[in-house]
Amino acid sequence: MQITVIINHRQVTLDVQPDDFLVDTLREQGLYSVRRGCDTSCCGLCTIWLNGKPTLSCSTLSFRANGQHITTIEGLRHEAEEFAGVLATEGADQCGYCSPGFILTVLAMKRELVNPTEADIVHYLTGNLCRCTGYQGQLRAIKKYLGVIE
């Protein structure tokens, strides 16, 4: 079947199978930032934005995205690099495998939450697992980036 989607502001028409998931469809388009981490919608690695909302691409059927706006970290390069710089300054990037999904969620949070507290931030990002950092450095980076003072 054919779908038309807007990926990072560019409209494309794609041939997909009814049981294709978005994570695979996007990787086939060369968007390698989108990764499968778990198969059970637990880890957040495959996070993309669907119409601006963080969405797990591993459990979203590709045809469901028909006519919608998809954003991956490739489409938010400047902003992502800006936050990545803050993260790296904390040393909190480590293996980086969860970073694109994590950063996309952080950037969505920035748009969604007004003056978030530390607890708000932790709650918003609960679905983004990281095995390397212990989360503390990520939190320091987010607070620095958003100017959260507590």
Partner 1 sequence: MRKYVGQALPKTDAIAICTGKPVYTEDLAPANALVIKILRSPHAFARIKSIDTTKARNVKGVECILTYKDVPKVRFTLAGQSYPEPSPYDRLILDPIVRYVGDEVAIIAATSERAAIAAMKLIKVAYEVFEPVLDFEQAIDHASVVHPEADLSCNFDIGMEKGRNICSTHTLAVGDVEQELKNCDIVIEETYYTQAQAPAMMETFRAFTYLDHNSRLVVVSSTQVPFHIKRQVARALELPATKVRVIKPRIGGGFGGKQTGSGEVFAGLVTLKTGKPAMFIYSRNETFSCTTSRHAMRLTVRLGADKDGFIRALDIENLSDTGAYGEHASTTFMVCGDKTLPLYNKTRAVRYYGHAVYTNKTPAGALRGYGATQGTFALESTVNKLAAKLNMDPAELRLKNIIKAGETALAYHGNVLGSSALESCIQKGKELIGWQDKYPRRELSNGKIRAVGMAVTMQGSGIAGIDTSSAAIRLNEDGHYVLLIGSTDMGTGSDTMLAQVAAEVLDTPPAEIIVHAADTDVSPYDPGSYASSTAYVTGMAVLQAAEDLKKQIIAHSAKVLGVTPEQIAFDGQTITALNGSKVISLKKLAEALVVGTDKSQLVGNATYGSPISPPPFIAGFVEVEVDPETGKIEPIEYVAVVDCGTVLNANLVKIQVEGGIAQGIGMAMYEEVRYDEGGQLQTNNFMQYKIPCRKDVGRITVAFEESYEPTGPFGAKSIGEAVINTPSPAIAHAVANAVGVSVTHLPITPEKVFMGMKRK
Residues that bind partner 1 (CB under 8 A): 31-35, 37-40, 42-43, 45, 72-74, 77, 80-81, 84-85, 87-100, 103, 122-123, 125-139
Count Cβ atoms within 10 A of the Cβ of residue 61 and give its class: 0-12 exposed, 13-18 middle, 19 or more buried: middle
**β-strand partners of 69:** 6
Smallest separation (angstroms) from partner 1 to the CB of 137: 5
Q: Which is nearer to partner 1, 4 or 22 (CB)?
A: 22
Neighbouring residues of 78: CB distance < 8 A, sequence distance ≥ 6: none
Look up residue 78 and give its two tokens. 């400047």
**β-strand partners of 12:** 5
Look up residue 51 and give its two tokens. 């119409």
Q: Which is nearer to partner 1, 4 or 97 (CB)?
A: 97
- The length of the chain is 150
Smallest separation (angstroms) from partner 1 to the CB of 66: 21
Smallest separation (angstroms) from partner 1 to the CB of 133: 5
Strand (E) or helix (H) holding 89: helix 77-89
Q: Which is nearer to partner 1, 15 or 39 (CB)?
A: 39
Q: Which is nearer to partner 1, 4 or 40 (CB)?
A: 40
Smallest separation (angstroms) from partner 1 to the CB of 33: 2
Q: Which is nearer to partner 1, 67 or 131 (CB)?
A: 131
CB 133 within 8 A of CB 74: no
Smallest separation (angstroms) from partner 1 to the CB of 67: 25
- Return the CA Rg of the chain: 15
